[in-house]
Amino acid sequence: MANTATVDELGHSPEVRGKNYLNQTAGVWSWLTTVDHKRIGIMYLVSVLVGFGLGGIFALLVRLELLTAKKTIMDASQYNQAFTLHGAAMVFLFIIPSIPASLGNFFLPLMIGAKDVAFPRLNLLSLYLYWIGAIFMLAAIVTGGVDTGWTFYVPYASGVSTTSVISATFGVFVMGFSSILTGLNFIVTLHKLRAPGMSWYRMPLFLWSLYATSIIQVLATPVLGITLLLLIFERAFHIGIFDPTLGGDPVLFQHFFWFYSHPAVYIMILPGMGVATEILATNARRRVFGYKAIAFSSVAIALVSFLVWGHHMFVSGQSELSSAIFSFLTFFVAIPSGVKMFNWLGTLWGGSIRFTVPMLYGIAFLFLFAIGGLTGLFLGMLSVDLHLHDTYFVVAHFHYVMMGSTAIAFFGGLHHWWPKMTGKMYDEKLARVGFALTFIGFNWTFFTQFILGTRGMPRRYYNYLDQFQPLHAFSTYGSWVLGTGFLITFICLARSLKTGAPAPADPWGGATLEWKTASPPITENFEKAPIVTLDAYERPAEETA
């Protein structure tokens, strides 16, 4: 044991004490040229929150427009642009990069005891590609908007729409590269840079979920890339791959698009599952029940995700046999998802649960993911889907999965790791208020839409029959509560940067490696590479005794 006069309880010598990744060097330039995964993670965090704000504003506008059955604040084409930009910003700017690129970048190396990701400069390049893609998307908004829906369906997107489709799709194409490179970087990092003793089965489960996510990013995103290139060329030169009037096949676009975008749904949800696992394990103060089952179910979800894209096309005219097969395969995803659900509950069972703010988000995740996942089964069932196809039921379902589950997990993770990232504690009370309004507002807004959907309200419609008006208005009121909840959460976190109390190294009593270094961490994460002797989530004997 080293002398305590020269080394503090974290093993930091006097030379590094008081220094961290935030104050090591100063100035904007030092941030823009950094190769430190923690700084890159923070820059991603700020970027995806801006994307979230942008998508959120469009969401509130869309909901406001739907307050009345006829025109409320915008005309039909503006409405098409508003919901397209809401979808595109939320999916591509926020939810796909949200957890992997921000929290993942920050914590993946910390959790395996590495100094950085395998390719730090490539990591910075990913961030710049994300920014370049975002600029193209913003340019599309400024130069006439996009009104195709975030799916860019042909032939509307390739020949009919007069808006800035090329700029938007090129932006998504560039962001796809960013996603691929981040995934590639993570896979290599997890394979090559684990600290001594950190075997695969000792890794925190968040990392297994990021590993599964990265596999999907690397294997699915290139197909989206070529699809968007074909779309761009189709629009520019009328080449006839997708446009039926030129001999092309619009259903081929749907196959290509969903071959990426269905796995992309799991790019969105898997990291959320990982974050939830960390929160539940830390705050139930137990080792995760069924560690390997959760780890392998992540990988299983990643693999099955490639086989189910056809369930987006039940009514596209594909053969009934194909539809039946895709329906059958779709149900398979429920198995690993159910395994996870039961293991989370098993982890909570008999745990000494503390209801910290992250834990509230973690439990909300379980609740909302259960609803989102189970309603997915309704839609996977052929006969039921024929009724529910393209109704608000679908809208409510995917909002429960993407926003209710992933975004809630993201904000839970943000609270969970905020002290580690910033070195500041936030105001618990205010954070609870923010959480409560978010949770209530979310269910208020979107549970209403399940009812709208079963009654036949089609999605994407600008005007609607008067009979739907009360429910639409009710949903819109919920969106205001939801917006207020996020605003309070944002204020709470921003305020903590100024007035928050200094965070200890381990505010929640976590068992994973990132809590074994200072808050905020020093530039190279650990002064000496940690040697891992405990299993995942195992606490040292003196702590558990």
Partner 1 sequence: MSAKAEALGGVEESKLSPQFHVAHHFDKADTQFDAGRMGVWLFLVTEILLFGGLFCAFAIFRSKYFPSFVEAHHHLDRVMGGINTIVLISSSFTMALAVRSAQKNEKKKTTILLAITLACAAMFLVVKYFEYSHKIHDGLLPGGNFTAADFASGHPGIFFAIYFMMTGIHGVHVVIGMGLILWILLRNQKNEFSSRYYAPVENVGLYWHLVDLVWIYLFPLLYLVG
For binding to partner 1 (CB under 8 A), which residues are involved?
A: 109, 114-120, 122, 180, 184-185, 187-189, 191-193, 218-219, 221-223, 225-227, 229-230, 233-234, 237-241, 246-249, 252, 256, 524, 529
H-type alpha helices, 70-119: 76-88, 96-97, 105-112
Q: Which is nearer to partner 1, 234 or 514 (CB)?
A: 234
Q: Which is nearer to partner 1, 16 or 440 (CB)?
A: 16
CB of 225 to partner 1, least distance (A): 6
Under a CB-based contact definition with an 8 Å cutoff, are residues 408 and 361 in contact? yes
- CB closer to partner 1 out of 192 and 498: 192
Helix (H) or strand (E) holding 466: none
Token pair of 464 as six digits: 């609607």
Strands, E, within 44-126: which ranges? Answer: none
Q: Residue written as tokens 């969105």?
A: 268
Smallest gap from residue 75 Cβ to partner 1 (A): 31
Token representation of residue 252: 């081929």
Nearer to partner 1, 233 or 477 (CB): 233
The shares of helix, strand and coil residues in the chain, as percent rounded to the nearest 5, are: 70, 0, 30
CA atoms of 344 and 364, how far apart (whole Å): 13
State the nearest-atom distance from the C-beta of 100 to partner 1, in Å: 16
Residue 257 CB, shortest distance to partner 1, in Å, is: 11
Under 8 Å between Cβ of 34 and 21: no
**Closer of 78 and 318 to partner 1 (Cβ):** 318
Rg of the chain over all Cα atoms, to the nearest angstrom: 23
| Cα 274 off chain centre by | 11
Which residues make Cβ contacts (< 8 Å) with residue 113, sequence separation at least 6?
194, 195, 198, 513, 525, 526, 529, 530, 532
Question: Minimal distance in Å, beta carbon 526 to partner 1?
Answer: 11
Minimum Å gap between C-beta 107 and partner 1 is 15
Give the shortest CB-505-to-partner 1 separation in angstroms. 22
DSSP assignments along 294-306, one per residue: HHHHHHHHHHHGG
Closest distance to partner 1 from the beta carbon of 116 (Å)? 4
Is the Cβ of residue 508 or residue 526 nearer to partner 1 in the bound state?
Answer: 526
The C-alpha atoms of residue 331 and residue 311 are separated, in whole angstroms, by 10
- Find out whether the peptide bond into 155 is cis, omega within 30 degrees of 0: yes
510 contact partners, CB below 8 Å, separation of at least 6: 278, 282
Looking at the Cβ atoms of 183 and 483, the one nearer to partner 1 is 183
Least distance CB 182 / partner 1 (angstroms): 12
Place of tokens 């599964």: 212
Closest to partner 1 by CB, 188 vs 366, is 188
Ranges of H-type helices in 250-311:
250-284, 291-304
Closer by beta carbon to partner 1, 61 or else 228: 228
Closest CA to 540 of 188, 287, 179: 287
